[in-house]
Structures are given as C-alpha cells and as structure tokens.
C-alpha cells in the first residue's frame, strides 16, 4: 500500500475526490461530531452480549452513541449532523479500505465494537454464512417499502433479512481526453490500444473486479466458476500486463489529471466526481457490461447499542435523507421515493443512473465458492 498523505493533504483530497474504496486518515478538527480511525473508547465493563441463533442481547455502554464501521467516503459530517439533530445520538465512525479488511476485523472478534457496518453485496453473503451478522428485526425497520425491486430481495441476501441497501454504483473506465482523442466505449479498448498506451493504464487492485472485467471482455460472466474461463481471463490479462502502469484502486488521480496516465479503471464515485472539476476527464460504463455493486448497512453479532443501529437504518431509509446522501456522496440510491426527489439532471444522468438496456448486461459480484482459490492464484501470478 502507498504511503499516506499528510492529514491536511488528505482532508483536501477527500473533498475533491470522493472515492468508494479510499482509506483515509482524518484529522479530528476536520469532523466535529465524528471521531475517525482508532477511536479511543471503552467497550468493556458496561456491555454484555449473549448469542443464540445468530442474534444477541445487549446492554450498551452508551445508548446515545452510534458506532459505525464504514467506507471513508460514507463518513459524511453533514449526514451525521442531521442524524444527531434528529435523534440526539452522536456518531463515532471508523473507516476501512476493503471488505476483506472489515471481514478480518470481525473474524478477530471486532463485531462488538460497531453498531452498524457497511459490507458490500458479496461480503454480506460471506458474513451470513460465517454467522457474523445479526438477523434484522423487521418490526423495527421502517421504509423498506420504498426500495426498488432489485433490492427488495437481493440474491446476496434473500428477503433482505440481514442487510439494508445503502447505495449502489458501477465500475468503469475514466480517461483523459488530452491523451485519448477517440471515444472508447468498451473494455476491448485497452487491448486494442495497449501499445500506444503502454505505461499509462491502471486497473483496480481488486481480484474480483479486475478479473471480472477481463472475463466480461471475453463474453463470460463476472462470476465465472469454470476453470477454463478463469484461465482464459488470466491469459488475456497477461497479454495486457506489459502496458499496465499499476494495479491501483486509488492514488492515480493526479497523474490522470496531469496526463501522465491515460485511462484508469475506477468506481463510479470517482468516475462521476473527477470530471466535475477536471473538464478533460470522461467516465464511461463499458457497453458489454460491468459490475453493479451495492453497499449495505448491517448489524454485526455482538453490536453495541443496537437500538441506535435501527435508528440509523431508519434514518437512512427516509426519502429525504436518502436523497441527501445520494447527492452528497454521488452514488445511486436504491430508494425509489428518494430517487423522485433528486434533481432532474441527476436522474437523467446515464452515467449515474444507467438506462435499462445497459443495466441488463450488469452483474453483481457474487461468491464463487471453491473457484476463489483459482482467482487468487492467477491474481498473485499476474501481479508478481
């Protein structure tokens, strides 16, 4: 992982480039109502938890505090302040850089530190299977009737029994028009222009996204389990490897803006935000299809202050709040009532809310079972 920027630099970069997968260190002065990263809090002595059938009974240390474990760009001060003003409950948030980091922390017993966590779709399934999530009490949740059909009973969590969708987005490519004067529209562009763009391409440092992209470019599923298809993707990625400057999920932005890089694989968060202040940049969703990801809210087994967790979930299901969050964070809302509250130019933006004829080619990243070992082996080889 690259060395961190100074805290003052990070604070500035966060405002310029919100990133779904960026792990940042925040200064205490930057966020008045929130303590981020390595918060000092005592969760012993006042809390008890007993587990039965993946549920727990709690006595919270502080019933006026909500403890979140979330993606850095979801740690939004304005959103937290609205919640505190409405409920009187203060928010304390830690941030993580990947689903796997969050999973490791919970597997090590960290679930009793957080009231709400934010696993992505495929990780929800993995956490359910590992008995790390509390089955939600539907009588305590209000607003799920506003969810769009895709998220009423998602494949990763049938009947939304353990999670509530927060936001969604896509994975695509962002390029500098000062370097690339044509208009790319699909993943194949990378291979077709590998020689002239050599050293000016970055791909996500994410095995499932990057291998999934290559699989999609071959006409296969993002979630392929056929060993022959996975090997074919590995071989095709090896063909492109000499042209790849780096596998980076973040840290490439300034180089792309300056033209030192030409095209980068990214999530729609950055893809939508960067062009707003850098007119030479363009984000597009490949026409052959991509991943459509969902980040959710869930309550871990052993969570402190579960009542605050339900209050937070209900707060985010309110149409006004969901619309505010979608506008602030620039992600797609799964809340149809919130969608109707968005400005017309946002609702009609095909890069933020793609048309159905394009969405039909999208796939959520799903667990691939035993095939994951094959993905990991090829990934290690191609990055060596």
- The single residue listed with the structure tokens 């950055």 is 270
DSSP-derived secondary structure for 77-118:
HHHHHHHHHHH--EEEEEEES-HHHHHHHHHTTGGGG-SEE-
* Burial letters 161-189, b for 16+ CB under 10 A, else e: ebbbbbbbbbbbbbbbeebbeeebebbeb
From CA 20, how far away is CA 95, in angstroms rounded? 11
pLDDT score of 222 more than 80: yes
What CATH number is given for 170-292+354-383 in this structure?
3.40.190.10
Q: Which is more confident, 47 or 204?
A: 204
- The residues facing 298 across adjacent strands are 117
Average pLDDT over all residues of the chain: 84
Q: Which is more confident, 366 or 316?
A: 316
Percent of the chain with pLDDT over 90: 69
Q: What is the pLDDT of residues 289-320, one digit of tens each?
A: 999 999 999 999 999 999 999 999 999 999 99
CATH architecture of 7-168+294-347: 3-Layer(aba) Sandwich (3.40)
User: What is the rounded (10 degree) CA torsion for 74, 260, 281, 335?
Assistant: -20
From CA 204, how far away is CA 269, in angstroms rounded? 14
pTM, entire model = 0.75
Residue 65: which residues within 8 A CB-CB, separation 6 or more?
89, 90, 91, 92, 305, 308
Domain assignments of the chain as residue spans, ordered by start: 7-168+294-347, 170-292+354-383
Give the pLDDT confidence score for residue 12 in this predicted structure.
Answer: 28
Confidence of residue 62 (pLDDT cuts 50, 70, 90): low
CA-based angle 336:339:342, to the nearest 5?
165
User: What is the rounded (10 degree) CA torsion for 365, 249, 70, 368?
Assistant: 20
Q: Are 302 and 110 in contact (CB under 8 A)?
A: no
Give the pLDDT confidence score for residue 201 in this predicted structure.
Answer: 98
Pick from 205, 154, 180: nearest CA to 364: 154
From CA 228, how far away is CA 21, in angstroms rounded? 30
- Fold matches, 7-168+294-347 and 170-292+354-383: yes
Q: What is the pLDDT of residues 174-217, one digit of tens each?
A: 999 999 999 999 999 999 999 999 999 999 998 999 999 999 99
From CA 255, how far away is CA 249, in angstroms rounded? 13
Q: What is the pLDDT of residues 77-93, one digit of tens each?
A: 999 999 999 999 999 99
Distances (CA, A) of 88 to 5, 211, 299, 308: 34, 45, 20, 10
Q: Are 205 and 97 in contact (CB under 8 A)?
A: no
DSSP-derived secondary structure for 154-190:
-TTSGGGSS-EEEEEEEEEEEEETTT--S---STHHH
Structure tokens at 263: 């095209």
From CA 163, how far away is CA 69, in angstroms rounded? 14
Give the pLDDT confidence score for residue 331 in this predicted structure.
Answer: 81
From CA 321, how far away is CA 318, in angstroms rounded? 5
Confidence of residue 57 (pLDDT cuts 50, 70, 90): very low
Q: What is the pLDDT of residues 140-184, one digit of tens each?
A: 999 999 999 989 999 899 999 999 999 999 999 999 999 999 999
Helix (H) or strand (E) holding 267: strand 263-267
Give the pLDDT confidence score for residue 73 in this predicted structure.
Answer: 74
Q: Which is more confident, 95 or 23?
A: 95
Confidence of residue 61 (pLDDT cuts 50, 70, 90): low
């Amino acid at each position: 992982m690259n060395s961190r920027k100074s805290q003052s630099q990070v604070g500035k970069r966060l405002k310029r480039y919100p990133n779904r997968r960026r792990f940042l260190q925040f200064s205490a002065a930057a966020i008045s109502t929130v303590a981020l990263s390595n918060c000092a809090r005592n969760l012993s002595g006042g809390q008890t938890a007993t587990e039965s059938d993946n549920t727990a009974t709690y006595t919270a240390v502080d019933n006026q505090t909500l403890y979140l474990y979330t993606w850095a760009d979801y740690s939004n001060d304005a959103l937290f302040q609205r919640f505190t003003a409405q409920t009187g409950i203060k928010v304390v948030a830690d941030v993580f850089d990947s689903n796997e980091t969050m999973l490791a922390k919970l597997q090590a017993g960290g679930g009793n530190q957080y009231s709400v966590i934010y696993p992505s779709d495929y990780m929800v399934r993995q956490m359910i299977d590992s008995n790390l999530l509390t089955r939600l009490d539907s009588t305590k949740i209000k607003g799920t009737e506003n969810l769009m059909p895709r998220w009423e009973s998602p494949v990763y969590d049938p009947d939304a029994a353990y999670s509530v969708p927060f936001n969604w987005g896509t994975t695509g490519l962002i390029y500098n028009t000062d370097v690339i004067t044509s208009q790319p529209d699909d993943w194949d562009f990378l291979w077709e222009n590998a020689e002239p763009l050599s050293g000016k391409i970055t791909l996500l440092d994410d095995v499932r996204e990057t291998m999934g992209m290559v699989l999609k470019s071959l006409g296969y599923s993002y979630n392929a389990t056929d060993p022959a298809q996975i090997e074919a993707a590995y071989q095709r990625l090896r063909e492109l490897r000499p042209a790849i400057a780096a596998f980076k999920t973040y840290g490439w932005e300034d180089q792309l803006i300056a033209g030192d890089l030409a095209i980068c694989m990214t999530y729609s968060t950055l893809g939508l935000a960067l062009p707003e202040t850098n007119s030479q940049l363009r984000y597009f969703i490949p026409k052959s299809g991509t991943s459509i990801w969902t980040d959710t809210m869930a309550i871990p087994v052993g969570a402190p202050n579960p009542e605050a967790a339900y209050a937070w979930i209900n707060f985010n299901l309110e149409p006004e709040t969901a619309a505010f969050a979608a506008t602030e964070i620039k992600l797609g809302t799964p809340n149809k009532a919130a969608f109707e509250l968005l400005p017309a130019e946002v609702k009609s933006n095909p890069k933020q809310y793609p048309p159905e004829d394009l969405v039909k080619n999208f796939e959520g990243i799903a667990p691939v079972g035993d095939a994951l070992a094959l993905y990991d082996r090829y990934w290690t080889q191609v990055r060596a």
